[in-house]
Amino acid sequence: MPRLVMKFGGTSVATVERIRNVARHVKREVEAGYDVAVVVSAMAGKTNELVGWVKEAHAFYDSKEYDVVVASGEQVTSGLLAIALQEMGLKARSWQGWQIPIMTSDAHGSARIAAIDGTGIIKGFADAKEVAVVSGFQGVHQPTGRVTTLGRGGSDTSAVALAAAIQAERCDIYTDVDGVYTTDPRIVPKARRLDKVSYEEMLEMASLGAKVLQVRSVELAMMHRVPTYVRSSFDDPADPKLGTLICDEEDIMEQQVVTGIAYSRDEAQITLRDIADKPGIAASIFVPLADANINVDMIIQVVSDNAATTDLTFTVPTADYERACAILNSHRDEIAFKELQGATDVVKVSAIGVGMRSHAGVAARAFKALADKGINIRAITTSEIKFSVLIESAYTELAVRTLHSLYGLDQA
């Protein structure tokens, strides 16, 4: 029988009644002839509550014990869903990450999946026609036998990795939205749900601010070629919508030049003034930041008239802004910058589309359209299938709406 992985997020399992609704979705797929593995998140709000308890117990907590505590939220949900499925007459059992096992690195709180042994789950399909209800977000570091967690959004990663491991026909990610949209419908009411998005486009959209899927899950789907649907758990289980399929570019008949507009408010800008324009200076800036696990994104260098000094502007996550400034100031003598300037009232707006590969002037049109609206661009980055601009946060909605209309995404 074909195999299917279904994943349900925190809002989908927020109450026992919603868990029963999830069970109805699962029952529909079982009756359609699938062997089903279900990956669940903790009930909405529970992970935050568990994290709060950890911090209340000790400000400088042991990361290994932190994982033990926060992983318990998914354990509760998996047990409750297994019970709900049994009440509907289906055979079901819960699986924790260490029981499968989902083997990970030992980076507690942000572990990466190393391997999954799906033998036990497949045996349950074959021998007992049993639905496997898997606790997402968690695994085990086998050398130490310690429970690990994959970081926020890790249940998406668990689901896609499990789908690859058991050779599932597809992976359905159920959320509180019915698919991937051309942009945030809260900003642009005319935003449209996309029927299909390529892996590359979804990877860019997820990394540039779209909150639909965790970036690592998209990477795994692309690496293992796992067809992945984004669907709504709040659809009628008897008549659900298909949602958005994330698939190979070749599986999409017609590609628009731009597929979607994403934005991220999690940006801070740092500018170093009058630094020497000589070899090694960039390394003296960015190596200490990398050593502190601070991701640097947009980078612009402007050489002065005398060609002896330069200004360097780059962005970091807002949460790392103060730490980045402190690190740079501690290396001031080595870098020899005259002044450090920063801003946190900035936003990154991006346009994504594989059609950019074969069309010239896509970004230039955007720059002109933003200029016509009086929006100043502070920084620009480009790749083969996207470009991003850094602007003042006050212009976020205007910029997103302008670009959405510019590329015809308002049109049905």
* Annotated binding residues: 7-10, 47, 74, 175-176, 181, 186, 211-212
- Give the annotated binding-site residues for ATP: 7-10, 175-176, 181, 186, 211-212
Sheet containing 379-383: give its strands across.
Answer: 260-264, 346-352, 386-392, 379-383
Task: Please tell me whether residue 329 adopts helix, strand or coil conformation.
Answer: helix
- Give the annotated binding-site residues for substrate: 47, 74
The strand pair at 146-149 and 138-141 is best described as antiparallel
Report how far residue 195's alpha carbon sits from residue 95's, in angstroms, rounded to the nearest whole number.
33
The strand pair at 170-175 and 92-95 is best described as unpaired
Angle, helices 215-224 vs 154-165, to 10°: value is: 10
Per DSSP, 245 falls in state: E
Q: Tokens in use for 50?
A: 């568990």
Query: What are 328's strand-pairing partners?
Result: none
Query: 99 phi and psi, to 5 degrees?
Result: -80, -25
SS3 string, 132-193, reads EEEECCEEEECCCCEEEECCCCHHHHHHHHHHHHCCCCEEEEEECCCCCECCCCCCCCCCCE
